[in-house]
Amino acid sequence: MPAVPAPAAARYQPVTPDEAVPVANLLPVRAGQAWTITPCRAPWTTWPAARLQQGARELILACGHSGADVAWQVPGVDAYGPHLRLGRASIPGIAREVLRVVLPVLDDQLAARAPDDGPGAHRHRLTELNELGAELREHGAVTFHQAGIAPNSDVLSWTGHGHGIRYAVTLRGTNPAADLAVSGPLSAVERLLPHFLDAAPAQAPRVQLTGVTGRMARRLTARLRPLTGVEQLDTGGLAIGAATGPYGYIAPPADPAARVRDNTPVAAELHSVGIDHLLTLSTTLAR
């Protein structure tokens, strides 16, 4: 009697994409827990896919000839399509967007399903900031922790020992994403901000400065507009950011008409910044 072929689903053997291990290696170990990788099937594509897990966090990474897809999953809610679709991206480029865009959203989804526990939220904020502080101190930074001005908030602050940028990371309530305030010399701040914005295009477009007033605003717009949306507000400051990822505000100088030099002081704030992203940038942030 001829053998009956196995059903197609039974014959399917998930294949781990080559990118899975190196991408996972670029994501930080948290509380001593690294990311684990298992092959899986992404429901929306036939590309090789892997499930990346770290505690309750779960990602699906699918990679093919034309790019990479990333989706997050939370207990009881499966992903049926990608939450992030990248074109031809390098392994560091995939990891960067996971850190910048995906993990803050995943953590927010997990926090929304956790009990709204005041003491528990405070312990979580302290744990997150202590982990970041320990990593920064490994690179020579002197950090300070204090309660925030806003209710149910905690702040970690330090000054970079090389470029003189002052940093403050604030966590509020149960929100797992941080607010990052930076102030310091213009040349150092304008080099720092692109770490949190979209990757630079292969060929930078011509930047239009029509309607942008003030020397500092024009310099920063020329630097940042190839990376993200930049809009000058009525205050003279700049709103920066896109529909996904960190976004924020650059304060206007006291005298918009004054000459702008590399050491001219500037202050900026970014919102929706993931702690994982800050951990991977700790060497840069400590300088």
For the stretch 22-49, pLDDT in tens is 999 999 999 999 999 999 999 999 999 9
Contact 236, 214 (CB under 8 A): yes
Residue 141 phi, psi dihedral angles, 5° rounding: -80, 150
Q: For residue 73, is pLDDT > 70?
A: yes
Buried-state track 128-154, b at ≥16 Cβ within 10 A, e below 16: bbebbbebbeeeebebeeeeeeeeebb
Q: Give the distance from CA 57 to its chain's centroid.
A: 15
Angle at 274 between CA 272 and CA 277, to 5 degrees: 130
Q: For residue 264, is pLDDT > 80?
A: yes
Q: Given pLDDT bands bounded at 50, 70 and 90, which one contains residue 12?
A: low
Q: For residue 2, is pLDDT > 60?
A: no
Q: How far apart are CA 61 and CA 69, in angstroms?
A: 6
pTM: 0.91
Contact 250, 237 (CB under 8 A): yes
Q: How far apart are CA 240 and CA 221, in angstroms?
A: 9
Query: How many other C-beta atoms can be found within 10 angstroms of the C-beta atom of residue 68?
Result: 25
